Amino acid sequence: MDDEFLPIDDYGVIGNDDRCALVGRNGSIDWYCVPHIESPSVFASILDSEDGGRFAVRPAAEYEASHQYVERTNVLETTFETDGGTATVTDFMPVPGPDAVRDGENEDDGDEPENEDGETDERLQRAIYRKIEAVSGTVEMEVVFEPRFGYARVPTALERTERGDIVATEAGEDEADSANADRQEPAPEDDRLHDHEDGALYLHGDIDLEIDPVDSTATATVALEAGETRWLSLQYGDPNRRSVEEYEGHLQGTIDYWRTWLDGCEESATDIFEFEEEWRDALVRSALVLKLLIHDETGSIVAAPTTSLPEEIGGELNWDYRYNWIRDAKFTIQALQNAGQSTEAHRYFEWFREIGHETPEEIQPLYGLHGESNLEEECLDHLSGYRESTPVRIGNAAATQVQLDIYGTIIQGIYETIRYENGLSEYDWESIRALAGYVCEHWEEQDKSLWEFRDLEAHFVHSKLLCWVALDRALRLAEEYDRDGPIERWEREREAIRTAIEERGYDEERGSFVQFFDADDALDATALLLPIYDFLPADDERVQNTIDTILEELTTDDGLVYRFADSPARPREPGGFVICSCWLVDALVLSGRLEEANEIFEQLLEHTSSLGLLSEMIHDEDGTFLGNFPQAFSHIGLLNSAIYLASASDIEDATPEERESSAATPLFRRHQT
């Protein structure tokens, strides 16, 4: 294996509360943004194999590599086998001790929490630790430290400190002129996002690296015999010298943290973790991935920790996903609650609850993880892109789009969450009234849809569906909690939306609901959500026709479902969109078609990486991963589909009397006060 682009599914992810890094099966950290997940990168060779920067630890000779997570953790082990012996590299980002896992022990009380050594958790967690261990024989290991600040736009200087650490900083003008004359000019100061700070990177360990000041690279080669270990610590902001005993202690503490957290999930979750092993492992991994993507400071959830991994190799559909999308809220809350992540679900709800109280016309489809609204898009022309897929983008212009579905998403999120809370507050009812009123005024307008088309605006059926959801849930809540509101108007507009969807959104000849009103051919997998949102019962003939049409025209032989087909935006995509396969499973379960649902779910599990991870899309011919990675939406879909299957299995195993009084119901079911 070399430094050329790895397949996306050859990467593992490590992280902690506000950071993630992608580690390749070749031992190279090829993507890392610090101090925050949405900060500029310091390693970005996944987007430019020559100039992006990396931190590699691997054998100097030819090798075969495999990787796995330490069981029930986000600690990654990569094993290298050479002719001379076997070595393992263990990568992790340290976390606080397991006593701080749940129940908000680290809530902000004005002072940053300290661990038992008096060190702040934030400082501790801005580190990557790498343990190198020879398992058998003798293995010569190579280390390449090649940081590149600011998405490789900022020249980097490496120096050795008096204590022997290597410190990487943004080079001054003199260094830039002499050592980096051919590199891009430093990026202008970015005031769009959270304060990313200007910190140095400190590399400490028991391996001596030699600095090349011209290439701004530090390298070393060390021969290890069986039983020998070496440690490398990369710390952002200040030096972080540790003893071997301290490194080992942090490794064990991090393992304990993840297992303790997962134990808490399983104690409070439904029976999804009781599935047979091939299902359970994938669901456990999905829960661990979601925890990695939760922003500890704000409770928001990043859609993916990467930018510009392409939807099509060599194509231009490359987006920055390091933000929180409102559209994901309705599914996210359900997945978090059913995976036993009640604390995380509550904090996430609080995050988007505040957004719901903004003036409705000012609410946008996505936000920065700290609530930033200005996500101005920029192309990084100096980066070659993953496998020459350009442009590489940072920021996301979809933040300024009109997407009418977001209002139903917010009301649905409140509707879902209060079943776990103490009822509907006046604060939330004020928000619901304002959002429902806005929907009444604007539902007849066109928008860009949840797929965020940049070249198509239409009356999308999914957008109208969520407008219906907004009014339907507002009416349900008014009735259930005896709230005042313009009930007659909401009922009138809700009925008008239903009529429009049924008359203009369903094509009798096509035998399916279509992508937008009066579409001739365009199909869209979002039509699977009609029974899930309880717009129509699953046994409605039109719903069954739609499912059958999607199975025939949007679904591959191995269960991958395209987002859409025959659309004026794009005729056909190169791969299936993972969440759409999950929606198909859910719709089939609601229809009582359990054998088909199980088959597609099991096929989807076969598409997870060797580590149990999922990207946004999967190529329909060769199964390669496409899009940003790992993708929260995909893992959320997997968890929610497992809930459907679990509930349906319980009903199937029930007595006739129990079965008669029960039924598989939509996740977004009517709840009882």
269-300: pLDDT as tens digits: 666 677 667 788 999 999 999 999 998 888 89
How many Cβ atoms from other residues are within 10 Å of residue 412's Cβ? Answer: 23
pLDDT of residue 652: 56
Question: In this predicted model, what pLDDT tens digit does every residue of 42-86 receive, in sequence order?
Answer: 999 999 999 999 999 999 999 999 999 999 999 999 999 999 999
Q: What is the DSSP string of 461-512?
A: HHHHHHHHHHHHHHHHHHHHTT--S-HHHHHHHHHHHHHHHHHHSEETTTTE
Tokens 């739609």, located at residue: 546
DSSP annotation of 227: T
Angle among Cα 51, 52, 54 to the nearest 5 degrees reads 110
Query: DSSP assignment, residue 208?
Result: P
Question: Residue 661: which pLDDT band, with cuts at 50, 70 and 90?
Answer: very low
Q: Report d(CA 318, CA 167) in Å as an integer.
A: 33
* Lowest-confidence segment of 477-486, 569-578, 641-650 by average pLDDT: 641-650
Residue 103 has pLDDT above 70, yes or no: no
| Number of residues in the chain | 673
Mean pLDDT on 235-249: 90
Does pLDDT of 101 surpass 50? no
User: How far does Cα 508 stand from its chain's mean position?
Assistant: 37
- Domains annotated for the chain, with CATH where assigned, are 8-263 (2.70.98), 269-660 (1.50.10.10)
Query: Has this prediction a pTM greater than 0.85?
Result: yes
For the cut 50, the answer to whether the pLDDT of residue 195 exceeds it is no
Place of tokens 């989807």: 604
- pLDDT value of position 527: 98
Q: What is the pLDDT of residues 251-261, one digit of tens each?
A: 999 999 999 99
CA-based torsion, 265, 269, 271, 275: positive or negative: negative
Which two tokens mark 11?
């990467």
Residue 187 has pLDDT above 70, yes or no: no
Q: What is the predicted pLDDT for the residue at 120?
A: 52
| Residue 623 DSSP one-character state | -
CA 251, 306, 365, 571 torsion-angle sign: negative
492, pLDDT greater than 50? yes
**What is the per-residue DSSP string for 130-163?**
EEEEEEEEEEEEEEEEE--HHHHTB-EEEEE-TT
Supply the pLDDT for residue 34.
Answer: 94
pLDDT at 173 over 90: no
Q: How far apart are CA 132 and CA 639, in angstroms?
A: 34
Give every CB contact of residue 174 below 8 A, 6+ residues apart in sequence: none
270 or 541: which carries more pLDDT confidence? 541
To the nearest 10°, the Cα dihedral for 553, 556, 559, 562? -60
Question: How far is residue 171 CA from its own chain's centroid?
Answer: 33
pLDDT value for 296: 82
Residue 116: pLDDT band with limits 50, 70, 90: very low
**Residue 351: its pLDDT value, please?**
86
Identify the pLDDT of residue 672: 38
Q: Which residues pair with 65 in a beta bridge?
A: 80
Residue 341 has pLDDT above 80, yes or no: yes
Give the pLDDT band of residue 434 (cuts 50, 70, 90): very high
The rounded distance, in Å, linking the Cα atoms of 324 and 318 is 17
Average pLDDT over residues 480-497: 97
Q: What is the CA radius of gyration of the chain?
A: 25
User: Tokens at residue 404, please?
Assistant: 């009418």
Q: How far apart are CA 494 and CA 473, in angstroms?
A: 10
Kindly tell me if the per-residue pLDDT of 305 is higher than 50: yes
CA distance 645 to 594: 8
